Structure 1
Amino acid sequence: MAAAVQKASLLPGLVTMRQADSISPNEEVLDQRSAKAGYRPDIEGLRAVAVVAVVLFHAGVPGVGGGFVGVDVFFVISGFLITGLLWREVSTTGAVGLRRFYGARARRLLPASATVGIVTAICAVVLSPPLQVRTIIGDGIASALYVSNYRFAMQGVDYFGGQIPPSPYQHYWSLGVEEQFYLIWPALIIGTAWFIRGVRRFTKVRATTSSPRPYLMVLALVAVLSFALSLLDTYLVPAVAFFSLPTRAWQLAAGGLVALTAGLWRRLPPRVAAIIGWVGLGLILLACTQLSATTPYPGTAALLPVLGAVLLIGAGSAAPAQGCGRVLAVSPMRAIGRISYSWYLWHWPVLLFAALLVGHPLGLIGRLATVLVSGGLAVLTLRFIENPLRFAAPIRRSAIGSLALGAVATAVAVGVGVALLIVVPSPVGRGPAAAALKITVEPVASGAAMDTYEAAVQLGFAQVQTAVAASAGLKAVPSNLDPSLTRAEGEQKALFLNGCMRTFIEVGHPECAAGDTASTSTVALIGDSNAAMWNPGFQQIATERHWRLEMLARAGCPLLDVPTINFTSHREYFECNDWRDQIVARLRTEHPKLIVLSVWRRYGGVLGSDDRYRFPAGFTPYDPAWIDSMARLVQLLRGTGAKVLVLGPIPDPQSVPSDCLSRHLDDATFCSPPRSMAVKEPGIVAETVATKASGGQYANITELFCAAERCPVIVGNSLVYFDRNHLTSEYVRILAPVVGALADRALISG
């Protein structure tokens, strides 16, 4: 989950309605007491600004690269309205009517979100790649239970999460934050009131729950602690910082502080208040236009929209009908505000499903068309679902009835998800069973001439090339595909087996020996996850040849001295630099006979045709910086006294093959890219020259994957890739004899 991935759906549960019936962007007032706070048309218009910014951001409209800050604005609005309501109630009655409070929330939010969630699940079954459907439905169930923000946070820190297509439920994360806020905030207010009464009872000091000062102190403490945690997590685990309530609470608290200091804001002279309001709106618009998906967020960047919302809402307390408040209160703005919740719910799945429906990414005109379609659906939802249930007298008068309505809506949404999980079949190959590929290359006897080693390599390549060529035109996915489409995803976990591939946050490197661990002939397999994927094959080779195999790999760390980005934290990967030095020092001490280097070749570039995450590092694969760095690394490794073998890149299948095949079970060639797209021949030539000039050997392994025109993703009955960047362990084991021949040749080379 890189920044672009996380910000692909960022707006919270937006809702606008008459504020006499509302206490937050997505809820109603509990009773008539809240109406005394007064109708704020400027806030309703501010909702329109935020929702338009986010919708246009998702539509990829130029100039709105920071439109995702609408989430921050709505959190501030929610904090302002909710805190004001709760404090007014507790200060006048000494308590909070929780059933009434939660009933209003349930009546307002849950029917609409459940309706859109159910429609989204059904559309996902029809339109999404079958292999993704179960994951999407899981997202839907988590969204119906309002815990999807933590599900998406975990996907964001997953090493392979960046390859998961954006979920049509991803925008529900913000509703999760809001619902969790609704659970915690009343307890915070009630707890403060209890504390005040306790002070009065035990100290006999005059203290009343009507003074805002204790609540100000509590909210200020929450804001400080949450902001500090947000800054830390933005640096270390930005997905958690982005999606979690603890790192977003300071924005809600900021709105609460405005509510508790409303009396001070009202003392502002109207002209001063108008100026402050314009400044606040300007800050929000500045954030919308100047921030981007690559901005570390929330971090300090979130101060811009939060401060803007605070100033605008606070100034509106003094002069809501002056300055920008007058602009925000015009009828079109309020009309957009009224449909903002439903528009938000619809716009993201409509945008994603439209692209799936037409079969290709949408252009700007197409994306803008989805904006209009989702806006129309929002009007219908407001007219036929939101308003009828929100204002139905029997339900409105009954807190229990409102809670029951919310419970039924949630139960139906969850039930539909569970039912779909049961009835939707998993995709399986339905073509004739294919023969398993078996490669036979006998190890060369010690002392043989170089020609014998060359012959062994050529024999292995020829056998694989014959099978690859035979599979290039494969249509139906074999019924005995190994691993099956559903098991391919499980291969990810094997890369981290026993900690031999270090994660982004782990330090040092454990003893990761395999094969004949007592042998004095050590072979070191080093690099990133592309090195780790070869481990099953090298373990097989090491066992046969009585080598001691050391695997030294780190996620996202190519070992080259190029400025690499840690994609889970979106900052320079300092840990990679430290680990590189440790590994080189270790190799100098252990003196392996052979070092095999394998790295991913798309650092600094964009991964995936959907452009979902990046490694922006100031270089591109195979450019002079990359080639020079590889030459220096080979020289450094040769300095340990070892022979060095650099494995060339695996072809780029241009998609996640298992997902693609699940949609094209009768035409596997659709998922097998042309060789010209999958292989960067000039880059391989440049790496070959640089490696040999530095004293190493280079193995161009393209022929193990590609025929003359096409690179099939199934060879024999074997699935070649488990994602876009890694080979399945099954195919790696099949290739083991060929790779063993390459290693043998490297060991006896001059």
Structure 2
Amino acid sequence: MNPSSPGRNAGLDTLRALAIVLVFANHYMLFVSGTPTFGWFSEVGWTGVDLFFALSGYLIGNQILGGIRRSRLSDGGERFSLVRFYARRLLRTLPNFYVVLALYALWPAFRGTSVLPPLWKFLTFTQNIQLTPGTAFSHAWSLCVEEQFYFLLPAVALAIAACRRPLLLAWLAVIGTLLAGMAIRSHLWTAHAGMVEQGSFHYYTLIYYSSLCRFDELVAGVALALLKNHHAGAWTRLTSRGNWALAAGAALLALTWSLFIEDHYGYAMTVIGYPMLGLSFTLLLIAALSPGSLLQKLRVPGAASIALWSYAIYLTHKTLCVLLRAPLQAEGWGPDSWQAIVLMSAASALAGWLLYLLVETPFMKLRDRYVPGNFARQAVPTGVVA
């Protein structure tokens, strides 16, 4: 899809571009410079992953919930197809992932001195379970969380849709899931993570990378999709106040960021910080989806392209910057110099564009040709006039 395609939402593009810029700033601090090169933005940059989760939760949740709703209302024999949904999802995520994984596995220089976990963990999307920080391709943990969530979500949604009072059950599932996440993090912090040094590898392995602890923003995005598909009146009222949602989301996000900077690994932020991020990003999503809102009308130069390449940039930028650090240092350009920052940023964008162009785009064309949608037509019984 072209960045200027009329089917794209400028607000969502801006948020997606913001997410990858946040992640880049944080990874630059952690793996390249060792200092907060971009100030507080580097320190909160890890929340870019959570923004990606919220975006994915809404977009994929809207496909699933909207598809189930359309199936129930359809009189033409259409039904939401799990096979087609999974096929489209995997054709979107796997090609780029496999190409980058092959670089880590087959080109030792690409992973440097980092140890690559067993390949089966990547192939089964279980690499994030008991993940040791600092291993090669460790940032793929977020893809594992997403894929696990989206393999489970359609089955849960279909099961709830088959029950009596499905809408009530759906909202109870959303609330119960968020409360369960808080309870799990509370238990893990109290029983384990709180006993060791704050910010230790133990905290990341046990809580930060754990699927059971990191689905808050995904669920928040799905809740927004549920609101859109089953509460038309409330959705209309919310999206008619997009600028208020933008102001509220920005204010809550600023507060949440400041609290995380002050006490990232403490008990309170471990338990409630992620739901706060989920609510902040949900409000920003509402603003992006509101006709006429500032976020939707604003066209940030380059944001549409960066958004389009964001998945490819996410997969490649960290190792690329680490590989570039030594030769740039040899030229007298340290990681905090403007020359190194510009060159590494440009290289990351270029690598993302190439991966998008050479791998992602051809598979998207194949997907559009062979699996153009999530729906399959039900067979018409013999003797019945369609």
Shorter-chain TM-score tier: 0.7 to 0.9
Report the residue type matching 2:40 in the other structure. Answer: G
3-state secondary structure, aligned to 2:264:
coil
Report the residue type matching 2:279 in the other structure. Answer: L
Q: 1:58 maps to which residue?
A: 27
Q: Does 1:89 align with 2:72?
A: no
Mark the CA change 1:249 to 1:145 in structure 2 (over 3 Å): closer, same or farther.
Answer: same
Mark the CA change 1:17 to 1:300 in structure 2 (over 3 Å): closer, same or farther.
Answer: farther
Distance 2:186 2:2 in 1: 34
Q: 2:143 maps to which residue?
A: 175
Contact 2:183 2:271 (C-alpha < 8 Å) held by counterparts: no
**Residue 112 of structure 1, CA deviation:** 0.7
Contact 1:281 1:324 (C-alpha < 8 Å) held by counterparts: no
Gaps of 5+ in 2: 30-36, 73-78, 194-202, 375-386
**Residue 214 of structure 1, CA deviation:** 2.8
**Residue 302 of structure 1, CA deviation:** 2.5
Q: Does 1:229 align with 2:184?
A: yes
**Residue 293 of structure 1, CA deviation:** 9.7
**Residue 75 of structure 1, CA deviation:** 1.3
- Matches for 1:93-108 after TM superposition, within 5 Å: 93-94=71-72, 96-108=80-92
**Residue 349 of structure 1, CA deviation:** 1.2
Distance 1:146 1:291 in 2: 28
- Count the aligned residue pairs: 336
Q: Does 1:261 align with 2:227?
A: yes
Q: Does 1:353 align with 2:323?
A: yes
Contact 2:104 2:110 (C-alpha < 8 Å) held by counterparts: no
Q: 2:271 maps to which residue?
A: 299
Q: 2:356 maps to which residue?
A: 382
Distance 1:388 1:82 in 2: 21
3-state secondary structure, aligned to 2:136:
coil
Q: Does 1:146 align with 2:118?
A: no
Contact 1:139 1:151 (C-alpha < 8 Å) held by counterparts: no
Q: 2:246 maps to which residue?
A: 277
Which of 330, 343, 367 does residue 369 from structure 1 map onto?
A: 343
Higher helix share: 2
Distance 1:336 1:100 in 2: 28
Mark the CA change 1:286 to 1:17 in structure 2 (over 3 Å): closer, same or farther.
Answer: farther
3-state secondary structure, aligned to 1:92:
helix
**Residue 294 of structure 1, CA deviation:** 6.5
Distance 2:238 2:312 in 1: 36
Instruction: Render the CA deviation track for 1:112-154: whole Å, top value 9, x for unaligned.
Output: 111112123344346724xx5xx32x355523432111141xx
* Percent of aligned positions that are identical: 22
Mark the CA change 1:17 to 1:93 in structure 2 (over 3 Å): closer, same or farther.
Answer: farther
Distance 1:251 1:364 in 2: 32
Distance 1:224 1:126 in 2: 41
Mark the CA change 1:231 to 1:351 in structure 2 (over 3 Å): closer, same or farther.
Answer: farther
**Residue 346 of structure 1, CA deviation:** 0.8
**Residue 375 of structure 1, CA deviation:** 1.1
Q: 1:248 maps to which residue?
A: 214
**Residue 265 of structure 1, CA deviation:** 3.1
**Residue 389 of structure 1, CA deviation:** 1.4
**Residue 368 of structure 1, CA deviation:** 4.9
Instruction: Render the CA deviation track for 1:642-685: whole Å, top value 9, x for unaligned.
Output: xxxxxxxxxxxxxxxxxxxxxxxxxxxxxxxxxxxxxxxxxxxx
Distance 1:19 1:175 in 2: 27
Q: 1:323 maps to which residue?
A: 294
Distance 1:293 1:81 in 2: 32
Q: Taking CA–CA contacts closer than 8 Å with sequence separation of 6 or more, which of the two structures ends up with the larger relative contact order? A: 2
3-state secondary structure, aligned to 1:148:
coil
Distance 2:92 2:70 in 1: 25
**Residue 170 of structure 1, CA deviation:** 0.9
**Residue 306 of structure 1, CA deviation:** 1.8
Mark the CA change 1:269 to 1:98 in structure 2 (over 3 Å): closer, same or farther.
Answer: closer
**Residue 278 of structure 1, CA deviation:** 2.6
3-state secondary structure, aligned to 1:146:
coil
Mark the CA change 1:291 to 1:364 in structure 2 (over 3 Å): closer, same or farther.
Answer: farther
Contact 1:113 1:345 (C-alpha < 8 Å) held by counterparts: yes
Distance 2:295 2:369 in 1: 37
Mark the CA change 1:389 to 1:231 in structure 2 (over 3 Å): closer, same or farther.
Answer: same
Mark the CA change 1:268 to 1:194 in structure 2 (over 3 Å): closer, same or farther.
Answer: closer
Distance 1:67 1:375 in 2: 17
**Residue 322 of structure 1, CA deviation:** 1.3
Contact 1:226 1:247 (C-alpha < 8 Å) held by counterparts: yes
Report the residue type matching 2:11 in the other structure. Answer: D
Mark the CA change 1:167 to 1:325 in structure 2 (over 3 Å): closer, same or farther.
Answer: same
Distance 1:286 1:340 in 2: 26
**Residue 254 of structure 1, CA deviation:** 1.3
Contact 2:325 2:335 (C-alpha < 8 Å) held by counterparts: no
**Residue 273 of structure 1, CA deviation:** 2.7
Contact 1:342 1:378 (C-alpha < 8 Å) held by counterparts: yes
Contact 1:42 1:321 (C-alpha < 8 Å) held by counterparts: no
Contact 1:81 1:259 (C-alpha < 8 Å) held by counterparts: yes
Report the residue type matching 2:83 in the other structure. Answer: R
Q: Does 1:46 align with 2:30?
A: no
Q: Does 1:187 align with 2:155?
A: yes
Stretch moving more, 260-269 or 111-120: 260-269
Distance 1:127 1:78 in 2: 28
Instruction: Render the CA deviation track for 1:316-370: whole Å, top value 9, x for unaligned.
Output: 44x243123323x445222211111011111111122334667899522335532
Distance 1:20 1:142 in 2: 37
**Residue 73 of structure 1, CA deviation:** 1.4
**Residue 399 of structure 1, CA deviation:** 4.6
TM-score by length of 1: 0.41
**Residue 240 of structure 1, CA deviation:** 2.1
Contact 2:309 2:356 (C-alpha < 8 Å) held by counterparts: yes
Contact 1:59 1:364 (C-alpha < 8 Å) held by counterparts: no
3-state secondary structure, aligned to 1:268:
helix
Contact 1:279 1:311 (C-alpha < 8 Å) held by counterparts: yes
**Residue 53 of structure 1, CA deviation:** 1.1
Mark the CA change 1:83 to 1:336 in structure 2 (over 3 Å): closer, same or farther.
Answer: same
Instruction: Render the CA deviation track for 1:187-246: whole Å, top value 9, x for unaligned.
Output: 1101112223xxxxxxxxxx5x6xx33322222211221222123324434332211211
Report the residue type matching 1:111 in the other structure. Answer: P
Which of 271, 281, 296 does residue 309 from structure 1 map onto?
A: 281
Which of 84, 105, 112 does residue 121 from structure 1 map onto?
A: 105
Gaps of 5+ in 1: 1-15, 22-37, 157-165, 197-206, 403-750
Distance 1:17 1:232 in 2: 46
Mark the CA change 1:277 to 1:362 in structure 2 (over 3 Å): closer, same or farther.
Answer: same
Contact 2:316 2:351 (C-alpha < 8 Å) held by counterparts: yes
Which of 328, 342, 345 does residue 312 from structure 2 map onto?
A: 342
**Residue 108 of structure 1, CA deviation:** 0.9
Contact 1:350 1:374 (C-alpha < 8 Å) held by counterparts: yes
Contact 1:67 1:287 (C-alpha < 8 Å) held by counterparts: no
Mark the CA change 1:398 to 1:303 in structure 2 (over 3 Å): closer, same or farther.
Answer: same
- Matches for 1:390-401 after TM superposition, within 5 Å: 390-392=364-366, 395-399=367-371
**Residue 255 of structure 1, CA deviation:** 1.3
Mark the CA change 1:19 to 1:233 in structure 2 (over 3 Å): closer, same or farther.
Answer: farther
Higher strand share: 1
